[in-house]
Chain A
Amino acid sequence: MKTDKNTKSVTDAQNQKTCFFSRWFTKILSSGFTASLFAIILGLLTGLIILLVANPGQAVSGFFMIMFGAWSEGLKSIGMTFYYATPIICTGLAVGFAFKTGLFNIGATGQFTMGAFAAVIVGTSCSFLGSAQWIVGLLAAVVAGALWALLPGLLKAFLNVHEVISSIMMNYIGMYLVNYTVSNVPILYNQLTNSSAQISDTAVIPKFGMDKIFAGSAVNAGFIIAVLVAILMHVILNKTTFGFELRAVGFNRNASKYAGINEKKSITLSMTIAGALAGLGGGLLFLGSLGKHIEVVDVLASEGFDGISVALLGLSTPLGILFAALFIAYIKQGGFYLQLYEFSKEIIDIIIAVIIYFSAFSLFVRGAIKRYLSYKKEKAEAAAGSMGVSGSTSNSIGAGKAGNGSTGNSIAGAGKAGNDESKGGSV
Chain B
Amino acid sequence: MNTVYFLVQQTMLFTIPLLIVALGGMFSERSGVVNIALEGIMTMGAFTSILFVKFTEGFMSGQLQLLLAIIVAGATGMLFSMLHAFASINMKADQTISGTALNMFAPAFAIFVARQVQANHVQQIDFENTFRIVKVPGLSSIPFIGKLFFSNVYLTTYIGFAILIISAFVLYKTRFGLRLRACGEHPQAADSLGINVYKIRYSGVMISGMLGGIGGLVFILPISTNFNATVSGYGFLALAVLIFGQWKPARILTAALFFGFMNTIAAAYSGIPFLASMHIPSYFYKMVPYIATLIVLTFTSKKSQAPKASGIPYDKGMR
A contact set with B: CB distance below 8 Å = 50, 54, 104, 106, 155, 159-162, 164-166, 168-170, 172-173, 176-177, 179-180, 184, 298, 305, 308-309, 312, 344, 346-347, 349-350, 352-354, 356-357, 359-364, 415, 419, 422, 425-427
Contact = CB atoms under 8 A, between A and B. Distances in A.
Given A159-B302, A360-B98, A164 B36 contact: yes
B317 A346 contact: no
Contact of A425 (B36, B83, B94): B94
Interface string B20-43: 000000000000000010000000
B101 A354 contact: yes
A354 B87 CA distance: 12
Main secondary structure of the interface of B (DSSP, over half): helix
B97 A356 contact: yes
Nearest to B83: A357
A347 B115 CA distance: 11
B94 A360 contact: yes
Contacts of A347: 108, 112
15 contacts: A160-B304, A164-B239, A165-B239, A169-B293, A173-B291, A176-B290, A177-B287, A305-B104, A344-B111, A346-B111, A349-B104, A353-B101, A356-B101, A360-B97, A363-B92
Given A165-B293, A352-B104, 17 more contacts: A161-B297, A162-B243, A164-B239, A165-B239, A165-B243, A172-B233, A172-B290, A346-B108, A349-B104, A356-B97, A360-B87, A364-B92, A364-B93, A419-B315, A422-B92, A426-B311, A427-B96
Contacts of A161: 297-298, 301
Contacts of A50: 112
A176 B236 CA distance: 17
Given A169-B293, A349-B108, A363 B115 contact: no
How many interface residues does chain B have, given as a range? Answer: 35 or more
Main secondary structure of the interface of A (DSSP, over half): helix
Interface string B280-319: 0101101100110110011001101000000111010110
Interface of B: 36, 83, 87, 91-94, 96-98, 100-102, 104-105, 107-109, 111-112, 115-116, 123, 233, 236, 239-240, 243, 281, 283-284, 286-287, 290-291, 293-294, 297-298, 301-302, 304, 311-313, 315, 317-318
A359 B123 CA distance: 29
Contacts of A170: 290, 294
